[in-house]
């Protein structure tokens, strides 16, 4: 039995390696299953050809390479949006970021509640990322038709100048898990964060066998690369600070989750977690959030994150490092850095 499990693990890891190698050299036209959309110009406005949308996902399954596959997928999307960042901390450390990706601190200084805020990069209304965001929606497998029809109407009214009508942050997380090889029973790809958060709550209670994430309060567990951290927007009558609050007020719909990709490792205990999420500043953005004793800390200031829960990946384990993201991400980072350095 042990030998069989080991062989299956190797096969799954090999499948994930094959997918990313194919994506690296052949790009999005590779034959490996992945969501796709087609956007065409109709009477001067972009329009999604809804009937041509596909939702197929990578079929490699979960294995020892899954955590790294999650990081690689998130890093590729961050690169596509040209590396925007949001700092919720006072830290001045970027060592988790591979050489060449992190811009100079002098380039990222800002003022207000979010210092060192970098907004340079692709935004959701940029032509270059329209189809990319469309693929995020396609990954949820259901509900995307209504989203695309609404978007087509908005683009038609605005002459193609509008961004996306629906929040796409949950679709982004779903897409990352899709590319990382999660089968349907291991992750609930959805248009709303609450759906896969609730699935993780049920899984920890033993009600959802095979689900790859379990929900914890922030104080219960330190985050690892590949985990997901979740926040709730503050409402006057529905503040959510724990998983218990979430279960009691699950009808509350204003949630946001990011994928943890790394940590500040300049001291024995990391002081910062780095996480990538979609629809942050209308982009795919890396957020720096503070840790206390290794645990995620809520940030209750304007434009911040009231983190309340950690979704811990509980599938097959293996090494994962944001320093080992694909070479194509580093190459894109160098190109972006060089372009920014050339601006007077």
Cβ neighbour number for residue 2 with a 10 Å cutoff: 6
Residue 234: predicted pLDDT:
66
- Selection from 15, 311, 52, 36 nearest residue 173 by Cα: 311
- Selection from 292, 289, 284, 293 nearest residue 306 by Cα: 289
The encoded tokens of residue 327 equal 């070479």
Residue 323: predicted pLDDT:
85
Cβ neighbour number for residue 342 with a 10 Å cutoff: 7
Domain residues for the domain of 246 are 2-341
Residue 340: predicted pLDDT:
66
Specify whether the CB–CB gap between 16 and 181 falls below 8 A.
yes
Provide φ and ψ at 131, rounded to 5°.
-65, -30
Buried b (16+ CB within 10 A) or exposed e, 205-214: eeebeebbbb
If phi > 0 it is left, if psi is from -120 to 50 it is alpha, else beta; for residue 48 that is beta
Question: CA 161 from chain center: how many Å?
Answer: 25
| CA 200 vs CA 263, 264, 292, 303: distances in Å | 23, 27, 24, 26
The encoded tokens of residue 58 equal 């990578």
Quick one: the chain helix, strand, coil %, rounded to 5?
35, 20, 45
How many structural domains comprise the chain?
1
| CA 98 vs CA 81, 118, 332: distances in Å | 17, 17, 12
Q: Can you tell me the distance from the alpha carbon of 285 to that of 306, in angstroms, rounded to the nearest whole number?
A: 17
pLDDT by position in tens, the chain (length 344): 333 333 333 333 433 443 333 333 323 334 468 999 999 999 999 999 999 999 989 877 899 999 999 999 999 999 999 888 887 776 555 455 555 565 444 444 434 344 444 445 788 999 999 999 999 999 998 789 999 999 999 999 999 999 999 999 999 999 999 999 999 999 999 999 999 999 999 999 999 999 999 999 999 999 999 999 999 876 666 678 899 999 987 667 689 999 999 887 665 677 889 999 999 989 999 888 889 999 998 887 655 688 999 999 999 999 999 888 899 988 888 887 777 666 55
Specify whether the CB–CB gap between 310 and 259 falls below 8 A.
no
The CA-based angle 321-315-318, given to 5 degrees, is 35
Instruction: State which H helix or E strand residue 14 sits in.
Output: helix 2-26
Give 26: exposed, middle or buried? Use CB within 10 Å, 0-12, 13-18, 19+: exposed
Residue 71: predicted pLDDT:
96
Please tell me whether residue 282 adopts helix, strand or coil conformation: coil
Q: Can you tell me the distance from the alpha carbon of 202 to that of 196, in angstroms, rounded to the nearest whole number?
A: 10
């Amino acid at each position: 039995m042990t030998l069989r499990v080991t062989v299956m693990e190797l096969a799954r890891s090999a499948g994930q390696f094959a997918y990313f190698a194919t994506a690296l050299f052949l790009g999005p036209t590779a034959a490996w299953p992945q969501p796709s959309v087609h956007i065409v110009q109709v009477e001067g406005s972009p329009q999604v050809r809804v009937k041509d949308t596909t939702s197929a996902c990578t079929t490699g399954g979960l294995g020892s390479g899954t955590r790294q596959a999650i990081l690689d997928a998130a890093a590729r999307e961050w690169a596509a949006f040209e590396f925007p960042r949001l700092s919720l901390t006072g830290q001045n450390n970027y060592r988790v970021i591979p050489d060449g990706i992190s811009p100079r601190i002098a380039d990222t200084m800002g003022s207000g509640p979010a210092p060192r805020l970098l907004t340079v990069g692709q935004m959701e209304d940029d032509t270059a990322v329209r189809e990319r965001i469309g693929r995020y929606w396609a990954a949820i497998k259901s509900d995307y038709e209504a989203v695309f029809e609404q978007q087509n109407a908005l683009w038609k009214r605005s002459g193609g100048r509008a961004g996306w009508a629906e929040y796409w942050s949950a679709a982004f997380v779903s897409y990352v898990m899709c590319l990382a090889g999660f089968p349907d029973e291991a992750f609930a790809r959805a248009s709303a964060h609450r759906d896969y958060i609730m699935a993780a709550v049920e899984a920890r209670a033993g009600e959802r066998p095979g689900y790859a994430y379990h929900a914890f309060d922030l104080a219960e567990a330190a985050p690892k690369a590949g985990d997901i951290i979740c926040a709730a927007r503050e409402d006057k009558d529905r503040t959510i600070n724990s998983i218990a609050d979430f279960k009691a007020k699950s009808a509350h719909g204003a949630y946001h989750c990011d994928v943890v990709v790394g940590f500040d490792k300049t001291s024995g205990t990391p002081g910062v977690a780095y996480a990538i999420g979609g629809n942050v500043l209308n982009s795919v953005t890396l957020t720096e959030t503070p840790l206390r004793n290794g645990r995620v800390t809520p940030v209750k200031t304007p434009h911040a994150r009231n983190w309340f829960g950690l979704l811990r990946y509980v599938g097959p384990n293996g090494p994962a490092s944001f320093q080992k993201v694909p070479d194509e991400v580093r190459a894109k980072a160098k190109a972006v850095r060089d372009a920014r350095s050339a601006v007077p």
